[in-house]
Structure 1
Amino acid sequence: MRPMTRRTALATLGAAALCPLAAAATERRYVLDKAASSVGFRFFVNGIAQAGTMPVSAADILIDPDRPAASRVDVTLDVTGARTALPLATQAMIGPDVLHAARFPVIRFSSTSIRLSAEGRLSGGATVTGALTLRGLTLPITLNANVFRARGSGPNDLSTLTVRLDGAISRAAFGASGFPGFVGDAVELDITAVIRSAT
């Protein structure tokens, strides 16, 4: 075993210091194409499915092609813009008994970890776990994730990606439990986000 001299020690420390910078350099920042993206949700009123949408007001997305599990996402939704097909249901949803948009105008999701699929990909069984803040209460949630390249693009073309997320939350867990006799507790999420590389 070679002894570690001052010279080799300095070289080792220098290499260790450069490693995080090299890894960080592979990260790519993406911007959301709002016109091509949608945050959909589904809930049940008297057992009948109702659908709605909520606009995205901000998104900060970093994807690391070399280390996909190190990718990050931070998304803010505009609660005041939430809509359903039924005007009365929309008013009840953004009112004080459910989302209380006047007091809590945004919903935020910030990822904390990503688990890749068995093939090591951001699809086919990948999940994203993060902190969801709704009505001022923050709880962990896990969503199924799939990331796709643009149709017809080459295998190394990551300039445009489509991110699909789906899962479900309990509205009662966040205190949005109004009208329990009519509206089911589970809210299903179906999110499509088209993102384009900012670099």
Structure 2
Amino acid sequence: MTDSQKKAYAEYAPRWCIPYNAQMVSFAEVFGNDNPVIIEIGFGMGVATAEIAAQNPSINYIGIEVFQAGVGKLLNEIEHRNLCNIRIIEHDAIEVLETMIPDSSLAGFHIFFPDPWQKKKHHKRRLIRRPRTDLLTKKLQVGGYLYMVTDWYEYAEDAFAELSATEGLCSRYEGFAPPQTWRPKTKFEQKGLNKAHRITELMFQRKE
């Protein structure tokens, strides 16, 4: 962590971080309103998270991340942009979903450039794999969406198949989603583009 990130973590975490606790969260109590809630899993340094939240003040966002430097960076962004619609949970995402997030409560998931676990023997560790996709689906409201972006094309194909096989989900598009213009480009994404990696987007939603 940089000195700035350490300072932000020490000063702002009590205000904007939700401590992990194995009991269901009340979004109305956390945010003080009944606005839709979107969870971002693995926000990295959080710059895109802050930009999206700034563009959508009537939507609440919860970022889940275990990378403490990224948490510190996003805390700085929250303070400097005067954002009131972001909270952070610094813990394993699956445990958070299982124990803290009520079923059928989320308007969406953002999953940007998750670890592709490139070796075949490690594919089972991928986030977008059943039964994890069943858990994600259970947390979405009807009509809620799961939006994933990756620069690893084989993972995109695998994720599309896994999501398509998940009961209660359907793709909004016949195949991969067109680029969503509201999503800011990140430094990580630019690194992938510099390596000639193809950026692929998936958009699924929970059906009746």
Return the TM-score normalized by structure 2: 0.22
Task: Decide which structure has greater strand share.
Answer: 1
Please identify the structure whose Cα radius of gyration is greater.
Answer: 1
- TM-score, normalisation: structure 1: 0.23
